[in-house]
Chain A
Amino acid sequence: MGANEIQDHGVLRFLTCGSVDDGKSTLIGRLLFDTKTILVDTLNAIERTSKKRGMEAVDLSLLTDGLQAEREQGITIDVAYRYYSTGTRKYIIADAPGHEQYTRNMVTAASTANLAVILIDARKGMLTQTRRHSYLANLVGIPHLLVAINKMDLVDYDQATYEKIKADYLAFAAQIGLKDVRFIPMSALNGDMIVDRGEKLDWYDGPTLLEILEAAPCAHGENGGDRDERFRFPVQFVCRPQDSANPELHDYRGFMGRVSSGIIAKGDAITVLPSGATSKVKDIQIYGQSLPEAHADQSVTILLEDEVDISRGDMIVRSDAQPTTTKQIDAMLCWLSETPLDKARKYVVRHTSRESKAILSGIEYRLDINSLEKQSADKLAVNDIAKVSIKLAQPLAVDPYTENRATGAFIVIDESTNNTVGAGMILQAN
């Protein structure tokens, strides 16, 4: 077996975020470089580009800043995904942009991450974007936050500077209710505390970045975490192969989807939402194979004992642990569009595999990200975070986002442009 071939220990997704120029892209470049993930031709290409741009050393941020516009301006505009594996697991890395203008792209990266590395420039300390990204990382429920105090080389690797920023951050963390936060000093440029410890940070005796990543639990809920155990199965597609030559398939009705949480076994009593119809699981299949049970993240096909009317957008749950079916929700909403939210307009809410027309009728407050003050607001502009109440035309089967990321999340679509304009996290059903 080759050195880079991984044993099957799952996937860890993490993102780098924080303020402009704090070194997010450089950090990822360094991590890939020091884990020898960068192949020769890629390295040659970024060496050439660095030279062409008049730099003395290789600019490792070029590894993820792949767009022409990004290279011209030396900034990140949209998320870049990078992959590497150690002997332990596969990593999916998302490099998020720091600029406020591109916050929606940071939210895109954060929504699927298990861990966030929040960078802070040691010379600058906490900035508005540091707060915003921390708040957003927490809001989208990333269970592990790692604060990387970077560019330590520019403050003579001074421990007091590190401790001061750490104390500032902890005060902020307490205010917004962050729990699992860790700190690490580093120089992404020089590679101190990324994979190797370097020589200048002797006073720090914690793990390196790579060691922290290697030890982090993969999915939410692993190692006694808080992934919801209740079975949720949004139906994506109904399989009815009536036209098949095989007469045995004539009455086949398979409900296809991906288990978003919990576990289901043959014989379990289920309820279909929103209709409330009940039945039992007759079989669980994937590609002709019958499975005794299916658990979170698996894509399967479920067959039921009874002929129940089920179509895309319905949700199959275990009858003993049901979500709330509702047409009225309260949620935290990140507004992602340059066109402000208009309370008079109808939008479309997409929740699991279901869509509903919706009116965003009430804005309870808009959050000022600096003061964390709750302000009254009539409109929401791009990058605003607010608490809203939403009236739905169709009932949705929901759980609070803090309990279940899959059944607590929704997006808002503007039908006049088809754009995704909002990201919502359900607080409660009314």
Chain B
Amino acid sequence: MATVALRDVRKSYGTNAVIHGVSIEIADGEFIVIVGPSGCGKSTLLRMVAGLEPITSGTIEIGGRVVNDLEPRARDIAMVFQNYALYPHMSVFDNMAYGLRIGGIRGAELRARVEQTAAMLELTPYLDRKPRQLSGGQRQRVAMGRALVRGPAAFLLDEPLSNLDAKLRVGMRLRIKDLQRSVGTTALYVTHDQVEAMTLADRLIVMNGGVAEQIDTPMRIYLEPATTFVAGFIGSPAMNILPAQGTEQGVLLGAVPLALGRPAPGRDVLLGIRPEDLTVAPEGEGLPLTIRAVELLGADAYAHGEIAGGGEMVVRVPGKKALSPGARVGVLPAPGLAHFFDPATGRRLP
């Protein structure tokens, strides 16, 4: 168990900079999720913490000790790989025992520790099997077990659930959170799935193009996204972001005045409203919207439409009151839940 600190960590491959300075202080036992689109540098960041990639500049501390130049094995961490990286020629038992044996643990203690971890992950019946004789979900648990059994200072997980089918993934998600809480080990978890990110994280790092756009709790990121990228990435369906103009009373969206917040009068802004913060009203009230398509999910439906004066907008409506394409309605934004961003920098306006 340990704290982890990244201070202005950067990475370049040749002249190609892929991580542009990430800093975060992680408390002991905290569950940090690194989330972002594919190619934004999540794996690179994690692999630098693991010691699998040298860092170009900055410092990484684990347990108060700078580990910049330490080999992975000297960092007291365990990692779960996306493809699990189980040793194919070893039984499940030997896969889990590999690191312990290297650590000098033998005999009854070795057996006890492996068996205890295996029991925790319901792997006891499979201890003698080779990885190829296991299902995807079982392999994933072996990979988890191999990390857990060593009792490391920190867990690093790189998209550990992305090779599972949707149902297993939800089950394992809850389980990982449970396990991490019960052992109390600091965890860094990489995913591109925002639902995983929201549900698992104590704090989230939202990455985009090698930059940590926002580091905060999931709820604060949802409620106060720091940039248009974060606003669009967290939350599903994505936040509606439309150009608008500040007025004395509120904003002017297209030609429609809305009493939402108060950016400086006359100022151009980007107005963000989440689909779940909009309600449908009869035509004539609020913002006129022409429905183009409706996605019906059962409990909810997402109505995609076009607002007067151009611009797309998505509205969440109850499934039972789903609209039909072609309908003309008005939408009312919930007061106080609108977000304003600077059109030039994409940053949140106070």
**A joins B in a complex:** no
| Interface residues, chain A, with chain B CB atoms under 8 Å away | none
- Residues on B lying within 8 angstroms of A by beta carbon are none
